[in-house]
């Protein structure tokens, strides 16, 4: 964490004082003399403890805890105890002070928070890479005092804001971790602005060029946006003024990350994204009228002026999201026939939206959402305490639940149940009880008979039909989207699988005895290769399913074994595979035509020019993944010691496989033109072209060999000039082998 040590100059000492005074002044909730004294006491202790210590950037270390404390108070809205804990958050870890010292001086509460933060830091920011295990610990700590997590998020936000001074491999590791865990966590806790900033910062390090391009685009389109927002708001403000509302209207652009994400997932270009901003109306409610009624009154004013899109009404007032978010969203047809999203919030709702759970403390008596959050934490604890759930599964499931938006459905008795959207009948059954899930064979949704994989809509009423004879089917995992249902089904089959595996193990012992052999790693390796299994459990399971004879067993033992890595990591080899020199991780590895010993990951198939990372398999084998590949993000946060930053240099000899998707209006000429453009480009080698035509439209997949992504871009430009072509985009090539 901390860099070198050296005496501070007079200017630096002044800088520290200035930052601290600024913190004292901006701690809105802590202006009483007692609070100010306590914060000053914590600052003095931390300042003394971190004396002469510097951050990687060279600035005094103490500026970091001061900045974290400031985020905690001004951006999350936390109070005195949290400011004190934030100031002290690195003291126990980095200096000689102990938690007991803190307890003596600041009491039990602060000591517990600092202790929690130190424990997380020890496992989380340290050398250890077993992130999933550590994450379990975080959640356990979280249920004791949420402030630990809030301060940890503030800490991470400041580290992300100052990531520039870190070496590139650290930048990738830290930002992957942030994207993997912290941003979803901030989202779940309702800290929208922090979540958004974390995501934007991750994008800045993962895809610097795209990041700059989108940021630039938002900036240059600003004046156009303002003009439009003004035009849109004019009739609304006239009505709101006439009815004496106190309010503000803003038109906030969407985050860079969310725009990028949309471009990636929807395969659209920047100028095809029309909803670059949302209009937000924040009003100070009349205390004599119900808040909810006032929201709907404003909704009614807006829809008097602009026609709403009925399928885009979101009422998070009657039933807030489980992270506490409350607002009314609608999409209306604005001037020039453009759809515009409008969000209506009271001042209180807005504060909750910005600061999430922390803001609830301020409005405690008005909300029921705290119980929702408590329920969520309780569910997570229960899952964690289940010894059958392994940490990685848990983490994936957890993230699944973090991202989901929600629907409310009903039992036959009218009891409401909240589920992630896209939940099925089977999810509902498991939500009621795992026994109901295991024995479900169908359901009546709104009194109509439906199958178990039927997707539910908000407001559905569901009656599950069960039978003792019904048992879970292996396909069921594909029918569910909640972690609860998925875990229950997986565990059911794990138990079953364990029985088969035990069978397989017994069978192997029998085979060895028949052939007078002793178990050895060589035998296991050969069998694993034969059965294509990743580990012993899988091997025993496959042996149990498929009990081979002694003859077959002998034959397998006679084959020469090949590298199991090939199958495990699913790699395609480049033409060269001579050893590369040892990788120096502090510098980006330059890859050009002369580089040997690297392979292109087949999960994401990056080509030169793309943002990539390298993952080291052995000392002289490197796999190159695209930075946004889910596998890369996972490797970066779970095994970052083997990740190196990679930079491409010009490739003129070697060719890489890329894929384009193309769409347009069908005519024989159009198809002719497409093939002509590709085959006429000498530096592009066509591998395959598949085109489907239907209803006067053609859609195609084109695989080409190119030297780097500039060639692809050029090809896209040329193809999009054909008048029948409406869409050409690059696509991820997935090699399922």
Catalytic residue, chosen from 35, 75, 90, 93, is 93
What six digits make up the tokens of 684? 């592009």
Question: Contact, 391 vs 143, CB < 8 A?
Answer: no
CB of 144 to Mn ion, least distance (A): 20
Closest CA to 440 of 488, 408, 404: 488
Of 62 and 571, which CB lies nearer to Mn ion in the complex structure?
A: 62
Site for Mn ion in 87-126 (CB under 5 A): 90
Of 154 and 601, which CB lies nearer to Mn ion in the complex structure?
A: 154
Binding range to Mn ion, per CB under 5 A, among 86-94, 690-698, 706-714, 723-731: 86-94
Q: Does 155 bind Mn ion (CB under 5 A)?
A: yes
Closest CA to 615 of 654, 595, 589: 589
Of 157 and 282, which CB lies nearer to Mn ion in the complex structure?
A: 157
CB of 86 to Mn ion, least distance (A): 9
Half-sphere exposure of 196 (CA within 13 A, CB side): 15
Q: Which residues pair with 656 in a beta bridge?
A: 706
CB of 78 to Mn ion, least distance (A): 16
CB of 263 to Mn ion, least distance (A): 34
CB of 158 to Mn ion, least distance (A): 7
Of 87 and 256, which CB lies nearer to Mn ion in the complex structure?
A: 87
Binding range to Mn ion, per CB under 5 A, among 32-40, 83-91, 284-292, 565-573: 83-91
Closest CA to 148 of 110, 175, 122: 110
CB of 16 to Mn ion, least distance (A): 16
Start-to-end C-alpha separation, the chain: 42
Contacts of range 519-522, beta carbons closer than 8 Å, 24 or more positions apart: 522/561
Cβ neighbours of 443 (radius 10 Å)? 23
CA dist., res. 269 & res. 726, Å (int) = 12
CB of 155 to Mn ion, least distance (A): 4
Q: Which residues pair with 53 in a beta bridge?
A: 5
CA dist., res. 702 & res. 660, Å (int) = 5
Cβ neighbours of 130 (radius 10 Å)? 13
Q: Could you say which DSSP state residue 590 is in?
A: E
CB of 178 to Mn ion, least distance (A): 14
Name the residue whose CB lies closest to Mn ion.
155
Binding range to Mn ion, per CB under 5 A, among 105-113, 147-155, 530-538, 680-688: 147-155
DSSP letters spanning 648-677: E---SS--EEEEEEEEEE--HHHHHHHHHH
Ramachandran angles phi, psi of 615, nearest 5°: -115, 125
CA dist., res. 113 & res. 91, Å (int) = 12
Cα dihedral 441→446→449→450 (10° resolution) = -60
Please, which residues have CB within 8 angstroms of residue 275's CB and are 6 or more apart in sequence? Answer: 254, 339, 340, 341
Cβ neighbours of 262 (radius 10 Å)? 17
Of 90 and 351, which CB lies nearer to Mn ion in the complex structure?
A: 90
Q: From the centroid of its chain, how far is CA 223? A: 32
SS3 sequence, 328-382? Answer: EEEEEECHHHCEEEEEEEEHHHHHHHHHCHHHHHHCHHHCCHHHHHHHHHHHHHH
Unique residue bearing structure tokens 């085979």: 511
CB of 44 to Mn ion, least distance (A): 19
Of 186 and 704, which CB lies nearer to Mn ion in the complex structure?
A: 186
CA dist., res. 99 & res. 89, Å (int) = 11
Q: Could you say which DSSP state residue 562 is in?
A: -
Ramachandran angles phi, psi of 285, nearest 5°: -70, 150
CB of 285 to Mn ion, least distance (A): 39
Of 112 and 233, which CB lies nearer to Mn ion in the complex structure?
A: 112
Site for Mn ion in 392-411 (CB under 5 A): none
Of 60 and 588, which CB lies nearer to Mn ion in the complex structure?
A: 60
Of 158 and 659, which CB lies nearer to Mn ion in the complex structure?
A: 158
User: For this structure, is 94 an active site residue?
Assistant: yes
CB of 90 to Mn ion, least distance (A): 5
Closest CA to 445 of 458, 462, 459: 462
CB of 89 to Mn ion, least distance (A): 6
Binding range to Mn ion, per CB under 5 A, among 84-92, 311-319, 421-429, 544-552: 84-92
CB of 64 to Mn ion, least distance (A): 6
Check residue 608 and give left, alpha or beta (phi > 0: left; psi -120 to 50: alpha): beta
Of 71 and 612, which CB lies nearer to Mn ion in the complex structure?
A: 71
Of 64 and 490, which CB lies nearer to Mn ion in the complex structure?
A: 64
Cβ neighbours of 535 (radius 10 Å)? 11
Cα three-residue angle 383-470-440, rounded to 5 degrees: 55
Site for Mn ion in 167-186 (CB under 5 A): none
Closest CA to 257 of 314, 311, 195: 195
| Residues touching Mn ion, count (CB under 5 A) | 2
Name the helix (H) or strand (E) containing 121. helix 99-124
Binding range to Mn ion, per CB under 5 A, among 73-81, 149-157, 248-256, 278-286: 149-157
Binding range to Mn ion, per CB under 5 A, among 76-84, 85-93, 250-258, 659-667: 85-93
Of 90 and 199, which CB lies nearer to Mn ion in the complex structure?
A: 90
Catalytic residue, chosen from 12, 51, 59, 94, is 94
CA dist., res. 99 & res. 116, Å (int) = 10
Please, which residues have CB within 8 angstroms of residue 109's CB and are 6 or more apart in sequence? Answer: 81
Of 65 and 504, which CB lies nearer to Mn ion in the complex structure?
A: 65
Core vs surface per residue 586-611: b (16+ CB within 10 A) or e: eebbebeeebbbbbbbbbbbbbbbbb
Binding footprint of Mn ion on the chain (CB under 5 A): 90, 155
Q: Which residues are designated catalytic?
A: 93-94
């Amino acid at each position: 964490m901390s860099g070198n040590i050296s005496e501070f100059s007079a200017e630096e000492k002044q800088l520290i004082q200035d930052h601290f005074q600024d913190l004292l002044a901006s701690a809105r909730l802590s202006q009483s003399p007692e609070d100010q004294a306590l914060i000053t006491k914590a600052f003095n202790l931390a300042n003394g403890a971190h004396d002469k210590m510097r951050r990687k950037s060279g600035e005094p270390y103490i500026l970091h805890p001061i900045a974290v404390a400031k985020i905690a108070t001004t951006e999350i809205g936390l109070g005195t105890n949290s400011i004190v804990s934030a100031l002290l958050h690195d003291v126990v870890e980095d200096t000689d002070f102990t938690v007991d010292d803190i307890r003596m001086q600041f009491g039990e509460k602060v000591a517990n928070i600092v202790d929690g933060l130190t424990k997380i830091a020890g496992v989380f920011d340290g050398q250890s890479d077993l992130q999933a295990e550590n994450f379990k610990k975080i959640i356990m700590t979280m249920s004791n005092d949420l402030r630990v997590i809030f301060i940890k998020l503030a800490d991470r936000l400041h580290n992300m804001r100052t990531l520039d001074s870190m070496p590139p491999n650290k930048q990738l590791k830290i930002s992957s971790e942030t994207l993997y865990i912290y941003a979803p966590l901030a989202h779940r806790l309702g800290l929208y602005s922090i979540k958004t900033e974390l995501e934007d910062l991750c994008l800045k390090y993962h895809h610097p060029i795209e990041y700059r391009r989108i940021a630039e685009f938002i900036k240059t389109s600003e004046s156009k946006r303002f003009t439009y927002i003004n035009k849109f708001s004019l009739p609304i403000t006239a009505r709101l003024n006439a009815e004496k509302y106190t309010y503000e209207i803003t038109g906030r652009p969407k985050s860079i990350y969310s725009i990028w994400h949309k471009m990636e997932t929807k395969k659209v270009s920047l100028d095809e994204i029309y909803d670059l901003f949302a209009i937000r109306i924040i009003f100070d409610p009349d205390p004599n009228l119900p808040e909810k009624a006032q929201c709907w009154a404003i909704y009614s004013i807006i829809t008097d002026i602009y026609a709403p899109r009925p399928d885009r009404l979101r009422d998070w007032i009657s039933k807030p999201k489980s992270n506490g978010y409350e607002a009314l969203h609608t999409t209306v047809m604005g001037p020039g026939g453009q759809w515009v999203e409008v969000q209506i919030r009271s001042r209180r709702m807005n504060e909750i939206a910005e600061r999430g759970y922390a803001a609830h403390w301020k409005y405690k008596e008005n909300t029921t959402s705290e119980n929702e959050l408590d329920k969520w934490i309780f569910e997570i604890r229960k899952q964690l305490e289940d010894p059958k759930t392994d940490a990685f599964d848990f983490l994936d499931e957890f993230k699944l639940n973090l991202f989901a938006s929600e629907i409310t459905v009903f039992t036959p008795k009218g009891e409401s149940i909240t589920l992630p959207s896209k939940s099925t009948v089977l999810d509902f059954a498991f939500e009621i009880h795992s026994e109901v899930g295991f024995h479900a064979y169908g359901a009546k949704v709104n009194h109509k008979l439906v199958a178990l994989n039927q997707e539910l809509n908000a407001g559905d009423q569901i009656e599950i039909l069960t039978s003792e004879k019904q048992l879970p089917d292996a396909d069921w995992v594909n029918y569910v989207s909640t972690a609860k249902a998925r875990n229950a089904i997986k565990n059911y089959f794990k138990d079953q699988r364990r029985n088969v595996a035990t069978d397989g193990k017994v069978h192997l012992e029998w085979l060895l005895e028949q052939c007078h052999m002793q178990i050895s790693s060589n035998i296991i390796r050969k069998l694993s290769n034969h059965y294509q299994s990743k580990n012993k459990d899988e091997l025993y399971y496959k042996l149990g399913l498929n009990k081979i004879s002694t003859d077959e067993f002998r034959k397998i033992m006679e084959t020469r074994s090949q590298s199991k890595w090939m199958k495990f990591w699913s790699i395609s080899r480049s033409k060269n595979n001579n050893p590369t020199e040892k990788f120096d991780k502090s510098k980006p590895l330059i890859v050009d035509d002369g580089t040997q010993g690297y392979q292109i990951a087949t999960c994401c198939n990056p080509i030169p020019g793309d943002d990539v990372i390298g993952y080291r398999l052995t000392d002289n084998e490197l796999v190159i993944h695209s930075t946004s590949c889910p596998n890369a993000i996972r490797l970066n946060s779970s095994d970052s010691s083997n990740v190196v930053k990679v930079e491409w240099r010009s490739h003129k000899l070697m060719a890489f496989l890329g894929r384009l998707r193309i769409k347009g209006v069908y005519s024989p000429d159009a198809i002719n033109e497409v093939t002509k453009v590709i085959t006429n480009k000498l530096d592009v080698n066509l591998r395959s072209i598949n085109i489907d035509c239907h209803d006067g439209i053609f859609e195609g997949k084109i695989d080409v060999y190119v030297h780097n992504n500039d060639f692809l871009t050029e090809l896209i430009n040329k193809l999009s000039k054909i008048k029948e072509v409406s869409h050409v985009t690059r696509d991820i090539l997935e090699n399922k082998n």
